[in-house]
């Protein structure tokens, strides 16, 4: 059982480049999320999707975009990367909209923007 698969696991990127982080889940969960984790700041929500075809903005959405064409995939795109986007990015999902407070996380994508 794979759960949530993220790719790439690690990437070094030049500032100004476009980057898409991929996230795929095989649990048929309705809701999906993207968080970034920075030292001392915990996990901050970037974007979310309650169901296929819908997306919403989280706490720190600027500079990021998402799409949800189907239930399984939820890619995160950095249109023009900046050094402040250096972070570890976690994709997560939940069966409903997080009613039980339980999210299932991927292993993360470590992104360095130079």
Partner 1 sequence: GQSLEQPSEVTAVEGAIVQINCTYQTSGFYGLSWYQQHDGGAPTFLSYNGLDGLEETGRFSSFLSRSDSYGYLLLQELQMKDSASYFCAVRPLWKDYKLSFGAGTTVTVRA
Where along the sequence are the contacts to partner 1 (CB under 8 A)? 4, 33, 35, 37, 40-45, 48, 50, 56, 58-59, 88, 90, 97-108
> What is the closest distance, in whole angstroms, from the C-beta atom of residue 99 to partner 1 in the complex?
8
- Residue closer to partner 1, measured from CB, 71 or 93: 93
> What is the closest distance, in whole angstroms, from the C-beta atom of residue 16 to partner 1 in the complex?
27
Sole residue written with tokens 């889940």: 25
Rounded Cα–Cα distance for residues 56 and 81 (Å): 21
- The enclosing H or E element of 35 equals strand 31-38
- Residue closer to partner 1, measured from CB, 22 or 44: 44
Query: Could you tell me the sign of the dihedral formed by the alpha carbons of 30, 70, 65, 36, in that order?
Result: positive
Rounded Cα–Cα distance for residues 43 and 88 (Å): 9
> What is the closest distance, in whole angstroms, from the C-beta atom of residue 106 to partner 1 in the complex?
6
- Residue closer to partner 1, measured from CB, 58 or 63: 58
């Amino acid at each position: 059982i794979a759960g949530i698969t993220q790719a790439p696991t690690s990437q070094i990127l030049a500032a100004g480049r476009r980057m898409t982080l991929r996230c795929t889940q095989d649990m048929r969960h309705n809701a999906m999320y993207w968080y970034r984790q920075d030292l001392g700041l915990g996990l901050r929500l970037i974007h979310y999707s309650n169901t296929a075809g819908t997306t919403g903005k989280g706490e720190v959405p600027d500079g990021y975009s998402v799409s949800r064409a189907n239930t399984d995939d939820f890619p995160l795109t950095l249109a023009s990367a900046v050094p402040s986007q250096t972070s570890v990015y976690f994709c997560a999902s939940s069966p409903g909209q997080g009613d039980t407070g339980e999210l299932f996380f991927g292993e993360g994508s470590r992104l360095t923007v130079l």
